[in-house]
Structure 1
Amino acid sequence: MAEYLSPGVYVEEFDSGGVPLGGVSTSTAGFIGLAARGPVEGLPQFITSMNDFTRQFGGYLAENVFGSYRYLAYAVEHFFVNGGSRCFVMRVAPSDAKSASNDGSSALRLFAKNPGEWGNRVRVVLEPASKAKTQIYEILGDAAKSKKYRVKSNAGFRAGDIVAFDNGEGKQYNRIISSQDNIIELESPLEGGEEVVDANLLPAKVLTTCEFTLHAFYGDEAETYERVSLNVTAPNHVEKVIGKSNIVGVSCDSADHGAVHPFEVISGKPEETGKFVIELSGGSDGSADALSAGDFMGQDLGPGKRTGIQAFIDNDEVSLMAVPGVTDPNVQLALVAHCENLGSRFAILDIPQDKTKIADVMTHRDIFDTQYAAMYHPWLQVFDPLDKRNIYIPPSGSVAGIYARSDNTRGVHKAPANEVVRGCVGLDCQYNKGEQDILNPRGVNLIRSFTGQGIRVWGARTLSSNGLWKYVNVRRLFIFVEGSIKNGTNWVVFEPNDEKLWARVQRTIDAFLTRVWKDGALAGTSPGEAFYIQIGRNTMTQDDIDNGRLICVIGIAPVKPAEFVIFRITQKTGSE
């Protein structure tokens, strides 16, 4: 309670109404697959365009190297072509993929930031540099033996730094033991005695730190890190500074190289050389034979170390998931389990390209029973920018883009079907109505070509055997509502659990669901028919309240798609 200790007028604000509740995004996709470059562990990378993907993950992969594992780039491209605007991508690499590096004989080991043949085209250039210089005003103690010097300014000089004293005729190198209050103590006395002192306004004798500047080049990318050091205790130590690089990583040996310029330590050449070029080599993309289902399923080694599907545990924004072209049941079941466990995302699954017969398609479909996934077939014929010809790609990337397009134009309540597949010139297999009569009731969503109407998604069913959850839009509408309420009601936690709070919660959710109903996502001619909200003594016991539980029961009536449009026509006679 506020304190009032002195006379005066106090103006205070308080919240009395419901807190506005915004809807969560349902059109952000997550993709897992092989790429030419990019991190293979940690957080998935945010992508907003195909150019963005190419910059971070490289281009298309060759069919003769990776075969059916190469479709990530095509899926992301057609996600954007079909209306998607943002996605997250997690790269998978074969176990035998290697990062390019220098020959290993240098005190500074350089390596490509992540595995792949791309690292063989990385070039690193080193140049001598200095971050600080000063002049010596006084030798403290015996001029021949003292190691302590009073300088004009010790700013930039740190313990452990290598320094060079230049008297105009030559340089002598040393190492700093301590640096404080404009007094620098060196590892050994400087040669020359009193001759090292120079108090002139424009000194001819200076003490400078010894660092180097590192330039990293890959294609059109260039990074420059100025005045980095081998002094492990310094904030400009090369490992600390270059940790943010997208091109190279570094590691230093722990050997004591003495009072030697770091440029010479790394290159083996004197500072006067001016430039040292390092070409990385030994990088490899690995082979498709080294890939297994476990690489895509990933490992949970803790924050920052998760791989594959597990990497998306740390991501709260993705609502659609796909592993394009990877139809191994183990991987797909792991993806479905991931979506079911989180309850906030939906999986889009591919069927193997060679399974075109009804029996073969059903054999693959019968592996699954889930309301958090949908399956699409057949594969799509598109233009391949790499080989300059038409190829077939899995439909999951295109369908994810159609989901996003439908969400943004109509809403998540609209079934993402009867939508044109953009960028598609043909289908791997043409199914007819009789074949769809068999596949559709079993939850296989076909993509079909119609005369004068293009190629369209012609199904909107999940893989669930539960009739309540057989439509994709129903499941995704509930994901949207649940996620929106969860994200928008954090303010309720630790509030006093009484009638005032219950009323505010009810007003908050009522306003949100009324808006959802007005958008056409809920059935009914009035909000009362579209949803109900129950909170208070009829949903909670005293034991619930005593144990800190606030229970709110919500029921909504989702709209169902008009999957079967039936016009019953009869002959009208003159007497009728």
Structure 2
Amino acid sequence: MAEVILPGTYITVRDEGLISAGRIASGYIGIVGTAASGPINQVQILGSFSEAKAIFGVSDAWQGGTKNELTLIRALEQIYNNGGKTVYAVRSEGVTVDNYKTALAELENEIVNLVLLAGQDSSNVGMANALIAHLTTTAGIKRERIGLIGSALGDDIAKISGHSYASDRLIFVAPGIKSSVSDPATQTVSQVSLPGSYLAAAVAGLIAALPVQSSPTNKTVAIEGLTTNFSASQLEQLVQKRVLVVEKREGWRVVKGITTATNSAWHQITTRRIVDYAIYGVRSACNPYIGKLNNDRVRGAMKATLDAFLTRMVEDEALVGYSLDVSATRAQQIAGEVQVSLTLQPTFSIDFILVTMYLG
């Protein structure tokens, strides 16, 4: 409504010019696993490892991974040791595939960027398939995320490099790690070998602590040791086979931050994270426009909001450049839909990523 400020002078304030993209999560971790205490199949939002222990209790004695040892606290310890901050954790009722699927379902509608199954490695095909299915489901309901899974304890170079994973939303981590664990019954501490699923938790914490444009390549992981120290030729072979492998070199370092994608455009973890961040940002910026007029003026304001968000990504060096178009056909105007077409050039990528979104 126009407001009179002087006789014969009117001013109209349109709120479209005040809309900006809201805060976008880039390092939230979702995890499911077994624990000694805490509510079952309920999401618990954690901000620290001490908070995690207060809810889920402590780990039991490690018996080589053969006695259904508790997994959640062990994995959370690796996450928080490596910089993870906000974690959406779900205690599973048990260690069966169906138990983990039920727990994963609780995370579907949460805004998380990385997801993993505590203690479950590539040797359990059913668990791996459950994680992959979860990634597919969440991508379909606009809750895109990246999954991590680790190699099994004792897997050799042939077993690890022979994996069949091929997804830009899945990271395969190797090898296993050495870790000091305590036996609650005897109060003794000993160093044991844990499967690659716990290295995956450590890598998840590392990635979550990094800006989307910062690669985990050559970054150090806070672990006590590796179960296998691969040679230079073996490391090269694993990288070529799309494995995120950690080596001993002035600490414990990620050789190359890669997904399991066979498409080279999505090979880098940074590319997947940058594009997901852009998609979440576009949705966040466009949500306040829902219910407003679908005309040239409002679409122009929407484009200005998106330009401001994407320009910040360029300034933060997440993007080298971009192009943007906001349009609607007559039929789309009547249906209240807008088409947003983006061409993104992520940092560290020579590829241009085309993203088309229909918002309404």
* Same-fold call, TM cutoff 0.5: yes
Contact 1:16 1:504 in 2 (8 A): yes
Residues 76-116 of structure 1, C-alpha deviations (whole Å, 9 max, x = no match): 0121111111201111133xxxxxxxxxxxxxxxxxxxxxx
Q: What do you get for the CA RMSD once the two structures are aligned?
A: 2.4
TM-score (norm 2): 0.86
Aligned partner of 2:90 in structure 1 is 90
Residues 354-377 of structure 1 deviation map (CA, whole Å, 9 limit, x = unaligned):
212x221133x21x2211110110
1:319 partnered with 2:318: no
Q: Are 2:131 and 1:335 equivalent residues in the alignment?
A: yes
Provide the residue aligned with 1:214 in structure 2: none
Contact 2:3 / 2:11 at 8 angstroms: preserved in 1?
no
Shift of the alpha carbon at 1:385?
A: 3.5
Whether the 8 Å CA contact 1:28–1:319 is kept in 2: the answer is: yes
Measure, in 2, the Cα distance between the counterparts of 1:522 and 1:2.
41
The residue aligned with 2:218 is 418
Give the match's secondary structure for 1:324.
strand
Look up the match of 1:550: 338
Is 1:18–1:504's contact at 8 Å kept on the other side of the alignment? no
Tell me the TM-score normalized by structure 1.
Answer: 0.55
Letter in 1 for 2:310: L
Local SS of the residue matching 1:321: strand
Query: Aligned ranges for residues 150-549 of structure 1 at < 5 Å?
Result: 291-298=95-102, 308-316=103-111, 318-327=112-121, 328-343=124-139, 344-356=144-156, 358-363=157-162, 365-366=163-164, 368-386=165-183, 387-393=188-194, 394-405=198-209, 407=210, 411-422=211-222, 424-450=223-249, 453-523=250-320, 530-536=321-327, 540-549=328-337
For residues 366-406 of structure 1, what are the alpha-carbon distances to aligned partners after superposition, in whole Å with 9 as ceiling and x for unaligned? 1x22111101101111221444011223202111110122x
Distance 1:352 1:53 in 2: 25
Amino acid in structure 2 at the alignment position of 1:30: G
Deviations 1:501-555, CA, capped at 9 Å, x for gaps: 11101110111111100111112xxxxxx0011123xxx3322223322112111
Paired residue secondary structure (1:326): strand
Counterpart for residue 46 of structure 1: 45
Does the 8 Å contact 2:220/2:251 carry over to 1?
A: yes
The residue type equivalent to 2:268 in the other structure is: Y
Structure 1: how far apart are the matches of 2:179 and 2:53? Answer: 19
The answer to which structure has the higher helix fraction is 2
Preserved contact between residue 535 and residue 553 of structure 1 (Cα < 8 Å): yes
Q: Is the 8 A contact 2:179 2:224 kept in 1?
A: yes
Q: Is the 8 A contact 1:68 1:326 kept in 2?
A: no
Structure 2 distance, partners of 1:501, 1:20, is 14
Is the Cα–Cα contact under 8 Å of residues 378 and 446 in structure 1 kept in the other structure? yes
Per the TM alignment, residue 16 of structure 1 is displaced from its structure 2 partner at its CA by 4.8
Aligned equivalents of 1:372, 1:16: Cα separation in 2 = 35
AA in 1 matched with 2:174? H
Unaligned 5+ segments in structure 2 are: 351-360
Once the two structures are superposed, residues 316-375 of structure 1 have per-residue CA deviations (whole angstroms, 9 ceiling, x without a partner) of 3x211011221212212221221233232111111111212x221133x21x22111101
Amino acid at match of 2:340: C
Q: SS state of the match for residue 323, structure 2?
A: strand
Asked whether the equivalents of residues 2 and 12 of structure 2 are also in contact (C-alpha less than 8 Å), the reply is no
Mark the runs of 5 or more structure 1 residues left unpaired by the alignment.
95-290, 299-307, 524-529, 563-576
1:560 equivalent to 2:356? Answer no
- By how many angstroms is 1:488 displaced? 2.5
User: Structure 1 residues 66, 56: CA separation in 2 closer, same or farther (over 3 Å shift)?
Assistant: farther
Alpha-carbon distance change, 3 to 472 in structure 1, aligned in 2, over 3 angstroms = closer
1:23–1:481 CA contact under 8 A, matched in 2:
no
Letter in 1 for 2:100: F
Q: 1:66 to 1:60 in 2, by over 3 A?
A: farther
Q: Which residue is equivalent to 1:234?
A: none
3-state SS of 2:348 partner:
coil
Q: How many residues align?
A: 334
Q: Where in structure 1 do 4 or more consecutive aligned residues deviate above 3 Å?
A: 1-4, 7-13, 64-69
Q: Give percent identity, aligned residues only.
A: 22
- Choose 1 or 2 for highest CA Rg: 1
**Residues 15-94 of structure 1: matches in 2 within 5 Å?**
15-17=15-17, 19-41=19-41, 43-64=42-63, 67=67, 69-94=69-94
Deviations 1:433-465 (A, max 9, x none): 211222112211111001xx1111112111111
Where 2:160 maps in the other structure, the secondary structure is helix
Q: Determine if contact 2:78/2:199 at 8 Å carries over to the other structure.
A: no
Alignment map for 1:122-141 (pairs within 5 Å): none
Cα offset, 1:2, TM superposition: 7.4
**One-letter identity of the residue aligned with 1:46:** I
SS at match of 1:483: helix
Alpha-carbon distance in 2 for matches of 1:505, 1:18: 10
* TM superposition shift of 1:11: 7.4
Deviation at 1:31, TM superposition (A): 1.2
Partner Cα distance (1:554, 1:447) in 2:
35
Say if 1:68 and 1:325, in contact at 8 Å, map to a contact too. no
> Matches of 1:481 and 1:32 in 2, distance apart?
27
Classify the secondary structure of the residue corresponding to 1:314: coil
Q: Residue by residue, what CA displacement relative to the aligned partner does 1:141-190 show, whole Å, maximum 9, x if unpaired?
A: xxxxxxxxxxxxxxxxxxxxxxxxxxxxxxxxxxxxxxxxxxxxxxxxxx
